[in-house]
Every structure is written in structure tokens, then in C-alpha cells.
Amino acid sequence: MRIIRINDPEYPFLLRKINNPPKELFLYGKLIDLNQKLVTVIGTSKPTLKGRKETIKIVKQLVKNGYTIVTFITQGVDEIACKTAMENNGKVVVVLPGDISKIKGQKYLKKIKQILEKNGSAITEYSSSKEVLPQNYIEINRILCGLSKSLIIIEAGMTSGTIITAEFALEENREIYTVIGSLKSTKKVGTNFLIKQGAKPIISVLL
């Protein structure tokens, strides 16, 4: 584990510019340059088959073009994005809602271990002295958005946590990309809404 403080040269300069940036970051695993070609990929925890395929295709192309994938350590789109990046020798940064020692659940701990053993890092603003609180899951959205200049949303419902992340991204003037879907799909309601709000529809997977 390495501590990166806000005045350190390694501290991500995009994150430093947001409202209320973390004073310090706790980085586990591979020391990835947090100032080079990061893109955040997130979405629903229960993607459709089409959404899964979209995630794999987009992440493969991002990795091919040298991007590091930033995402959240959970299931669904986030997990697929992380797995796809690692399978294609890409770099991954997962944002945690607490210190690794405080993360509960063997399923999540196994995922984190796999990431750290490969070409990835885990990052959090919380030290081992702080418990994982429900509000942490909201607060880390500013890190998910702040690390990257672009946010890609594959699928999302209107009341999902993904939309909350998108709201943070809009506040910080980040570029939001999303995938157009059928008006009948509940998993595309959120993404179609974001396009109306100014998000850029993904026609090509090349950013």
C-alpha cells in the first residue's frame, strides 16, 4: 500500500481540480500512472446480454488504444469491464468504498485479489481506521468521475447508482458517453435520458 497526498506529484491532476478532492489516496497493487489516459466505465449491476457484449467490445477497443480502465468493484457492467481489460492485458484501477481490510464478503475480496495479482490497482480515500459506511458509496462517485476526463455508461436505469455517478460527472464538466438503446428497454432508460441531457452517443468505440 502506498499513500499519495494531494500535494504529491503523483496525485492525479484531474482529481485535484474537482470540488472537495480527497486529501490523500491509498493505492494498492501495481503503481499505475494516474495522470495518463484513464477512462471510467460503469453501468447497471444486471446488464442485458446486449449490454454485456457492448461492454466487452468497448473495453477491448479502449485497452487496444492504451487506456486504463477505471471502475467500481461490483458486479454487472463494472465487473465485465474489469475482467475484459485484464484478459486483454489492459490496466485497471478499481475504486473502493473503504480500506481493503474493511471490505467484507469473500466474493469481493477474491475480485480485488485477482486485480492486484494482475495488471491492476485498487484505490480508496479511506484509511484502515475508518469503517465502510453507506455514504461512502456515494462519496466515491466523485473519485470515479474525477480520475478521468471521460465517463462511459453502458446501461442504466433511471434510479440507479450509475445515474448518481453521471450527475457528479456533469457537475465536474466531464465528457459523458453512452450507448443508445431501445426505448422499451428498462436498462436503457437512464442512458437515453443522459443523451437528452447532453451525453454523447457512442457510434464508434474510438474516443
**Residue 163 predicted with pLDDT over 90:** no
Residue 207 binned pLDDT confidence (cut-offs 50, 70, 90): very low
**Residue 204 predicted with pLDDT over 60:** no
Per-residue pLDDT at 81: 95
| Nearest alpha-carbon partner for 122 in 94, 100, 99 | 94
pTM, two decimals, is 0.91
Q: How far apart are CA 72 and CA 43, in angstroms?
A: 10
Cα 27 to chain center, whole Å? 15
Per-residue pLDDT at 206: 45
Q: Is 169 helix (H, G, I), strand (E, B) or coil?
A: helix
Which has the minimum average pLDDT: 24-38, 157-171, 180-194?
A: 180-194
**Residue 41 predicted with pLDDT over 90:** yes
Question: Hey, which residues does 18 pair with through a beta bridge?
Answer: none
Per-residue pLDDT at 39: 96
Architecture of domain 2-201: 3-Layer(aba) Sandwich (3.40)
Per-residue pLDDT at 203: 65
- Rounded to a whole number, what is the distance in angstroms from the first to the last CA of the chain? 32
Quick check: 102 and 130 in contact, CB under 8 A? Answer: yes
**Residue 71 predicted with pLDDT over 80:** yes
Per-residue pLDDT at 184: 66
Q: Which residue has the higher pLDDT, 10 or 161?
A: 10
Tens of pLDDT, residues 91-150:
999 999 998 888 777 777 888 888 888 879 999 999 888 888 888 888 999 999 999 999
Give the number of residues written for the chain.
207
Strands (E), 35-101: 38-42, 68-72, 92-95
Per-residue pLDDT at 23: 96
Q: What region does 187 belong to: left with phi over 0, alpha with psi -120 to 50, or beta?
A: alpha
| Nearest alpha-carbon partner for 59 in 46, 49, 69 | 69
Q: How far apart are CA 175 and CA 199, in angstroms?
A: 7
Quick check: 122 and 94 in contact, CB under 8 A? Answer: yes
Neighbours of 181 (CB within 10 A): 23
Percent of the chain with pLDDT over 70: 96
**Residue 183 predicted with pLDDT over 80:** no
Residue 205 binned pLDDT confidence (cut-offs 50, 70, 90): very low
Quick check: 144 and 167 in contact, CB under 8 A? Answer: no
Tens of pLDDT, residues 10-25:
999 999 999 999 999 9
